[in-house]
Structure 1
Amino acid sequence: MLLDLNLPRKNGDEVLAEFHEDSNRRRIPVIILTSSESETDVVKSYELCASGFLTKPVDPAEFIDMLQELEQFWLSIMRLPTDTDLD
């Protein structure tokens, strides 16, 4: 799941904390994808069990490249649990 820290009603930290309190969703990787470059945001996100933290590039071409690399890493390289692993 990709999660931005800057959301209209709840901030991303609140969503991340609620998400990981639910044992059914706890194993789903959550990547923070935000415009923030704050070290405080990075540390807090990892403390709340984020699987990764990425700062969005301003340049649209760089952003697309980042998303393609993210897709390659999480969908091709990383090994994630299958449904049968969750039983």
Structure 2
Amino acid sequence: MDHHCVWTGRQRIMSNKQDANCISHITLPHFVRFLSYTVAAMIYLETFLYTRCAVLWRNRHMPSVSIILSAGSSALTCC
């Protein structure tokens, strides 16, 4: 198992040495841990986004702030 990371800019395709930018049997536990933490962080972020979207969805029929401000400013200019 050998994978060369393209984001580091260093690739050794024809090498038998273990390179720091390769995902191999030695670095596989760290790579799996990285993937697990990344997925957990995305799920955590998704819960925040879902709760914010739920609040916006619940309040979708309330008047917007721009309508309130424009109505208030026109009422002030008329008087």
Higher relative contact order, chain-length normalized (CA < 8 Å, sep 6+): 1
Structure number with greater Rg is: 2
**Normalised-by-shorter TM-score class:** under 0.3
Q: Which has the higher helix share?
A: 2
Q: Which has the higher strand share?
A: 1
TM-score (norm 2): 0.27
